[in-house]
Amino acid sequence: MVKKDDIKASLIADDEGAVIVTKEGLKNLESELKELTTVRRKEVAARLKEAISFGDLSENSEYEEAKNEQAFVEGRIKELEIMIKRSKVVDEKHHSKKIVEIGTKVKVVNTKKKTDEHEFTIVGSTESNPFENRISNEAPMGVALMGSKVGDKVSVDAPHGKSEFEVLKLS
């Protein structure tokens, strides 16, 4: 019998150093990179050129702001290039639908408040967005759910304390 901890360990070991993303997540990273390299870079360059035309750079706040924005944009471009290069796309079509893994949509209920149901999609950390119910596999809830099956009860150590959830449905 395979233990849940063994499943979690193998999922982590297989992806050491990789940026785990869904197909949609990779598309979003590539789209952001394209926007930064084709549009934002040019906008920042134009702002820098304009700020330089104002003269004395030592007391030129427009120049300082443009340089800071340029540093941010260039830093984000490098970060995205690395993430895309190291990305490992999760093949959602080959999910077992029997255990929680990255890309799985999971419905849970709080065991103490049976009416408190939640539905999450487990994603890599780069795609995480709690407002869209996209929970990172590295977040407390994601860690607790990885490798679980329908009917399993998982304990989540969250900032507000410990909670227990039952897995109701996977898709």
The residue among 41, 29, 25, 9 whose CA lies nearest residue 103 is 25
Encoded amino acid at 126, one letter: T
Domains of the chain: 23-89 (1.10.287.180), 92-170 (3.10.50.30)
101 and 161 Cβ atoms separated by less than 8 Å: no
Check: CB of residue 103 under 8 Å from CB of residue 92: yes
In what helix (H) or strand (E) does residue 110 lie, and over which residues does it extend?
Answer: strand 105-110
- Note the pLDDT tens digit of each residue in 11-62: 443 456 788 888 888 999 999 999 999 999 999 999 999 988 877 777 778 8
The confidence band for 160, taking pLDDT boundaries of 50, 70 and 90, is confident
39 CB-near residues (< 8 Å, 6+ apart): none
pTM of the complete model beyond 0.75: no
Neighbours of 154 (CB within 10 A): 20
